[in-house]
Structure 1
Amino acid sequence: MLKKTAIAGLFTLISAYSMAQNTTLPIYLDESKPVEQRVQDALSRMTLEEKVAMLHAQSKFSSPGVPRLGIPEFWTTDGPHGVRPEVMWDEWNQAGWTNDSVIAYPALTALSATWNKKMSWNYGKALGEEARYRKKDILLGPGVNIYRTPLNGRNFEYMGEDPYLTSKMVVPYIKGVQSNGVATSVKHYALNNQEMFRHTSNVIVDDRTLYEIYLPPFKAAVTEGNSWTIMGAYDMYKGQYASQNQYLLNDILKKEWGYKGVVVSDWGAVNNTEQAIHNGLDLEFGSWTNGLSAGTKNAYDNYYLAKPYLDLIKSGKVGTKELDDKVTRLLNLAYKTTMNTKKPFGNVASEEHKAVAKEIGEEGIVLLKNQGNVLPIDLNKAKRIAVIGENAIKIMTVGGGSSSLKVKYETLPLDGIKSRFGKQADVKFARGYVGDIGGEYNGVQSGQDLKDERSADILLKEAVDLAKNSDYVIFVGGLNKSDFQDSEGNDRKSYGLPYNQDNVIAALAKAHKNFAVVLVSGNAVAMPWIKDVPTVLQSWYLGSEAGNSIASILAGDANPSGKLPFTFPVKLEDNSAHQLGEYPGNKEELAAGKGKDQKNPINIKYNEGIFVGYRWHDTQKIKPLFSFGHGLSYTTFKFGKAKADKTTISQNDTITFTVNIKNTGKKAGAEVVQLYINDIKSSVPRPSKELKGFEKVFLNPDEEKEVSITIDKTALSFFDAEKHEWVAESGDFEALIGNSSDAIKTKVKFTLK
């Protein structure tokens, strides 16, 4: 960090000296000049070696500036829901700082489950302030890869299965972060939808599916959110790795979408100098695990976009056109971040940030089932509350991969429940099961000792006995951030809950009728006990305020309003990727041992095409466990009859749908009005419905509001791969309005000329 301070100081000194001497500032330092002119001036002053040096890392998380010209280095940081602790210059080991603890915000599945675009802006702004305070220039997030299978270990970092919902939620997040002069790096572009074989796979998908399902969130991030950087993925597509891919980076991102920002490689995703030069990569990170042990004085100088690139230029084998384009992009980024003198100072762990984290957690929690109105807990009847399950006491901010954090604090579910109910009720805890007793990732230690050598039978008996002697029973279970669960690097091994939890839940359901299951996870799970359990909450990974957010919902202080951002299938085989597609790869190739190295990648065919998630379930009429968009409330809502402002529209028209919604219950709450479109007769296969609009509306008891959603022909279009364009066919359509994909309340027919 001393280098960065020195460079910034040089920048200030040059400016101050010029003003004192009444001399003209160099154009690249003159803030009165247009950025384009300043960039070209800086570029003209740089040597060939200085240009090449800017294109690759100088440490684990930083890349060089140009010290001679006072252009600062770039500092990057993970991750999507909190600023990662500092590591050593060349190593993943912790740097041992005592001032790099932060607030952990809810993981992005929870943010997406709010279905609230304003909440996404608040999230981005708060997270960006913490990154800015920590002197970071590029935040490596958010993640917008599509939820294709519930086994993907990294789904908790993403925003669900629907490209429209993800697109609308990612844009305000980006704008919130970048309002602090900190760049986002939307990832992982593209088709990185599983962790198994992520370095050694070749994804095979048709262009229509690519454009309709997997690209829209990235396009929105670029064309609407103006994300200043994009991170390439690890996987191959069309035989080229994604971080050096002609079709993805040049043809689509930079040409079709007109992207002027910086393409950053994922750490260790580059493996070919000439492809990196010509195929759209701008900034290379992580090509070796450290900068010291590659047999040279400084391994960073031997990255693919370092000395090998310089040698090719000096030998005349390649020109400098691509080099100048890459450096131009990096200089533009510098004027938005490192050389932006107007950016705020940021702050960390403020009361405002804590409140944002808690509120997002409350709005993201999804009430899946509440038979008999077990929740909210009736304080007049709740004299003894049993809390059961390891996830009630397990720290979840440590682990999970690159998004692992070192936090100021983490309020655990048991602590949150005790804090909220302890004055009125006797809250007691039983372990119920023993799962992962570890608590360390990358040198950050949770400080917990969860070792418990009691047998499963003893743990179960203790839990059941406590349940029988309580007024309410809250089981807190689900998954965790361990390897092969919700974690980077590997996928889940099965769809079911681990650690004998199904047996524990089934026994507790028999022991008490006032029973609620709280699932902490970033993925769907099987629920063989669902018919016997009256109440289920999906609570996600909620960060520093997890326990307080959960307790607030249990008590009814906050009314649940979250909606699922992905489908919960009854069984894994109901998911289209597992029924039709290839996962984790081609079976014959798996048997032959392919996928073990980059020379022998395994093919993964997306045979399900566009029929991902609810598009598959609803079209094939496969009943899900819980549908996309589903989420209950402690109050009730009534939808009126939907109306359209016209019955026939032309290709250039818009059409507005309005519907009245009324809170018919006794508690203030929020409902999400969801608009789906059905193409009644199409020349190509289309889903029975596709989300094309949504609005979250807050209502007091007996309050009624009119909600309007406007669409144009883009909401009616499919991608014609042969023509390579979006097509809206004339004919009849239906607007379907409801509060989940399988709960349509009202319909309107209209015709496109």
Structure 2
Amino acid sequence: MKYGELIAEMTLEEKASLMSGKDFWQTQDIERLGINSIFLADGPHGIRRQAVASNKMGLNQGVPATCYPTAATVANSWNAELGEKVGEYLGEEAVSQKVHVLLGPGVNMKRNPLCGRNFEYFSEDPYLAGKMAAGYIRGIQAHGVSACVKHFAVNNQEEKRMTIDTIVDERTLREIYLTAFEIAVKEGNTKSIMSSYNKLNGTYTNENKHLMQDILRREWGYTGTVITDWGGSNDRLQGLLAGNELEMPTTSGETDREIIAAIKKGEIDEAILDESVDRLLDLVFSTESAIDRSKTEFDMEKHHRVSQKVAEESIVLLKNDDDILPLKFGKKVAVIGDFAQNARYQGAGSSLVNPTILDHTMDSFEESGILSIGYEPGFERYGKRNQQMIDRACILAKKADVVLLYIGLDEVTEAEGLDRKDMKIPENQVDLLHAIHEVNPNIIAIISCGSAVEMPWIDKVKGLLHSYLGGQAGARAILRVLSGDVNPSGKLAETYPLKYEDTPSYRHFPGREATVEYREGLFIGYRYYDTADINVLFPFGYGLSYTTFEYSDINIDRQGVSFRLTNTGSKAGMEVAQLYVGCRSDKIFRPSKELKGFTKVLINAGESKTIQIPFDDKTFRYFNVATNQWEKESAEYKIMIGSSSADIRLTDTIYIEGTDAQLPYDKEKLHSYYTGKVNNVSKDEFEQLIGRELPDPSWDRDKPLGYNDTIAQCQYAKGLFGRIAYHTIVFTHHFLWKIGKRSTANIIMMSILNLPFRGIARMTGGIVNMPMLDGILMMVNGHFFKGLWHTVKEKVKLQKIHKVVKTKGSQ
């Protein structure tokens, strides 16, 4: 152990105390041994160090920090070096704000377009997500502070996220849902990882030894710290045994006492605790030395300009009929849409950043050179139809040569803790679009949202620019692309289906009660659409430019592929060249193509460059469930170079000598997977894939409610108190939504209704402990007065414990 001598000086109580937080955002300190607290803060795209004291619970406003484009946006740049630059500036701000651990980036897969937190994740593809994440991590940790990759693992829905059991086969787990984490660990060298809330195949992830020990520690060689998501600890002892060092937030010593008691009884070897303490101390000491106590400021203007550059490179041009873009000089432009005046530039929930500077579209026209003749909001932000707004917008549109129509999804539609209800743009915005088209067909739509949307109205617009969520400088970045000052180079990091029903997981998303089944297996995103030959609106990797590129002269050897890329247009531009690989054998089912490399290149007009994309350890591998390890199949592989997954420009083949491992599947029993048509896999076939019977997907309504049941399940509680509590919460949610307090209503849904009962103890910072929770459960389960007395009695005991601890601490 690295800190064995220091650990030998600690008492058992001191060692146990380090395993949970001091408060909501800090680790515990041991003053006599020179071990200080370190501070953790939300930070996927900007630091949210809350302005109030760290012992205050809730999603409180952060001190001002640069709000960079979200991960879903930056992924569209396909530029890992750009991600590293974002990381570097995030790390600098972390140091200035005395933040030791930045809770991000998030690398969960975009399994389904409706996941409410997709704006915080990179891609539907693990290779792209992993490479982008590794860049972020290197940048952040270059300043000595720690990144914290999240949420490990298979956390792909927000509804019931703290209790849902994700049912996924081992191969899909490894190839799709863990590969990005693997790259983050091996190439990014992340110092910390955040475990997810959910169960994985029946076991909570932070207690899952297969995930935490077999894969993370042994196979990947990870030696860093594992931190629970806030309130994400179920059984603290099982978490410790699995190698989960830090439980957040504080439980005011309750779980520390559980660890101490278990060691004294011989249930846990103290050496296990020592190992966890050693890893945590490494995080504490390595990050503490990076914090410059004298540095309290950073260059806000410089960081703002960097944020703008990142947004510019991440904007995706999706449609450009009649070369309506870039805007011609002197064209009279009408600006319509609430998002033009009040930009939608970031997500919601724990990632909400308080920006240092915020650019506004209407304030930036003069420097853009675009001639605006006026602005109309056109629609009410949260969906209410307003004909007068539409009429005024149409009057303005008639006077213009071109209409810039700013549309998208509002802040309460895409939010942590909730999943979207559909893939649609709000109807009042679509009504506005149709009305404007009748008076002026020259419409350029600018979409702001963090995930895929349906576009049945796309034939009504000539130009379509997707800014995603572009951060605090996003408004100015959009105008620079519209004006032609910036040649767009973003490409989609996710597929846009024609309609939600086309997605392979739509029959099994989200899991509504006890489980969610990943019946589509490997075939998410383009892996499904391309293999099953399903038409899409925009393919993975798609994006237009103001110039054109020609691919030629492919050459393949054992090290990789090279080819020639020529800018055949009249403007300098950046192209994202993408390497896909497809195995021509049919012995083991695989997608028709998989991303295995990419590069982004700046090429001047008329210039040619020779591009090389190397093969790596992931190019030809697959996970074999029979041998329980990565293998290569001896086969001919199709090598494809494309401008998107659907626009393959060059192809060739190479024969790879494999490991000739045992075949893992009975082809006759897995027809859906061998054809890739997995949108309606039967229960029997999925059970054949996972090798066991499926658990019951429904809640057990006959048994009393327990620690891991959600407050939403009080709807069928045996006690009247529980049912009244449920209906009161639901009524409050609907009432707040109705009167426009939508963010507050969302917090009720996220933080109360979908909270498991154990979360009452785990998330209240020691105000409620588990014995008190036993009393609350008695009340819910039909023993109101007995439960009330038990709760009061245990509260008194808890207050006495806190008093004793406080007295000892002051001595």
The interval holding the TM-score normalised by the smaller chain is 0.7 to 0.9
Matched-pair contact (CA < 8 Å) for 2:168–2:201: no
- Asked if residue 71 in structure 1 is aligned to residue 17 in structure 2, the reply is no
SS class of match (1:429) = strand
Q: Distance in 2 between matches of 1:51 and 1:417?
A: 59
Q: Distance in 1 between matches of 2:546 and 2:125?
A: 26
Matched-pair contact (CA < 8 Å) for 2:640–2:650: yes
Mark the runs of 5 or more structure 2 residues left unpaired by the alignment. 658-811
- Asked if residue 159 in structure 1 is aligned to residue 119 in structure 2, the reply is no
- Asked if residue 461 in structure 1 is aligned to residue 391 in structure 2, the reply is yes
Match of 2:352 among 404, 416, 420: 404
1:513 CA drift (Å): 3.3
TM-score for the superposition, normalised by structure 2 = 0.78
Matched-pair contact (CA < 8 Å) for 1:349–1:408: no
- In the alignment, what sits opposite 2:164? 201
1:372 CA drift (Å): 0.8
User: What CA deviation, in whole Å up to 9, does each residue of 1:186-207 have, x standing for no partner?
Assistant: 0000000011111121000000
- Asked if residue 218 in structure 1 is aligned to residue 177 in structure 2, the reply is no
Q: Distance in 1 between matches of 2:285 and 2:113?
A: 41
- In the alignment, what sits opposite 1:703? 607
Matched-pair contact (CA < 8 Å) for 2:27–2:38: yes
SS class of match (2:636) = strand
Matched-pair contact (CA < 8 Å) for 1:526–1:571: yes
User: What CA deviation, in whole Å up to 9, does each residue of 1:629-665 have, x standing for no partner?
Assistant: 00000111111131223xxxxxxxx332111111111
- In the alignment, what sits opposite 2:26? 62
1:350 CA drift (Å): 3.0
- Asked if residue 558 in structure 1 is aligned to residue 521 in structure 2, the reply is no
- Asked if residue 435 in structure 1 is aligned to residue 381 in structure 2, the reply is yes
TM-score for the superposition, normalised by structure 1 = 0.84
Q: Distance in 1 between matches of 2:372 and 2:460?
A: 26
- In the alignment, what sits opposite 1:27? none
Q: Distance in 2 between matches of 1:662 and 1:551?
A: 28
- Asked if residue 300 in structure 1 is aligned to residue 252 in structure 2, the reply is yes
- In the alignment, what sits opposite 1:348? 298
1:506 CA drift (Å): 2.3
Matched-pair contact (CA < 8 Å) for 2:145–2:287: yes
Matched-pair contact (CA < 8 Å) for 2:326–2:483: yes
Give the percent of matched residue pairs that are identical in Structure 1 and Structure 2.
Answer: 38
Q: Distance in 2 between matches of 1:667 and 1:435?
A: 37
Q: Distance in 1 between matches of 2:647 and 2:58?
A: 50
- Asked if residue 416 in structure 1 is aligned to residue 367 in structure 2, the reply is no
Deviates more, 1:65-74 or 1:159-168: 65-74
Q: Distance in 1 between matches of 2:48 and 2:31?
A: 26
- In the alignment, what sits opposite 2:201? 238
- In the alignment, what sits opposite 1:7? none
Deviates more, 1:685-694 or 1:498-507: 498-507
Matched-pair contact (CA < 8 Å) for 1:268–1:285: yes
SS class of match (1:300) = coil
- In the alignment, what sits opposite 2:776? none
Match of 1:661 among 559, 565, 577: 565
- In the alignment, what sits opposite 1:177? 140
- In the alignment, what sits opposite 1:479? 409
Q: Distance in 2 between matches of 1:492 and 1:83?
A: 25
SS class of match (1:312) = helix
Matched-pair contact (CA < 8 Å) for 1:75–1:136: yes
1:65 CA drift (Å): 2.3
- Asked if residue 148 in structure 1 is aligned to residue 111 in structure 2, the reply is yes
Match of 1:526 among 444, 454, 461: 454
SS class of match (2:82) = helix
- Asked if residue 507 in structure 1 is aligned to residue 411 in structure 2, the reply is no
- In the alignment, what sits opposite 2:510? 584
- In the alignment, what sits opposite 1:621? 533
Match of 1:189 among 152, 155, 158: 152
User: What CA deviation, in whole Å up to 9, does each residue of 1:687-743 have, x standing for no partner?
Assistant: 110000111010111011010111146311211111111121112111111100000
How many pairs align? 656
Q: Distance in 2 between matches of 1:336 and 1:345?
A: 18
Match of 2:56 among 85, 91, 104: 91
- In the alignment, what sits opposite 2:7? 43
Deviates more, 1:192-201 or 1:332-341: 332-341
1:472 CA drift (Å): 1.7
1:436 CA drift (Å): 3.3
Q: Distance in 1 between matches of 2:230 and 2:272?
A: 22
1:584 CA drift (Å): 1.2
Matched-pair contact (CA < 8 Å) for 2:496–2:538: yes
Matched-pair contact (CA < 8 Å) for 1:115–1:563: yes
Q: Distance in 1 between matches of 2:274 and 2:92?
A: 32
User: What CA deviation, in whole Å up to 9, does each residue of 1:253-306 have, x standing for no partner?
Assistant: 11211110000000011121221221221100036xxxxxxxxxxx5211x3x1
Match of 2:93 among 111, 130, 137: 130
- Asked if residue 606 in structure 1 is aligned to residue 534 in structure 2, the reply is no
RMSD (Å), alpha carbons: 1.9
**2:10 is matched by which residue type in structure 1?**
M
Mark the runs of 5 or more structure 1 residues left unpaired by the alignment. 1-35, 288-298, 438-452, 596-601, 646-653
Cα distance, 1:218–1:544 mapped onto 2, change above 3 Å: same
SS class of match (1:640) = strand
- In the alignment, what sits opposite 1:573? 501
Q: Distance in 2 between matches of 1:559 and 1:140?
A: 33
Matched-pair contact (CA < 8 Å) for 1:434–1:499: no
- Taking the TM superposition and a 5 Å limit, the aligned residue runs for 1:310-349 are 310-340=260-290, 345=295, 347-349=297-299
Cα distance, 1:234–1:417 mapped onto 2, change above 3 Å: farther
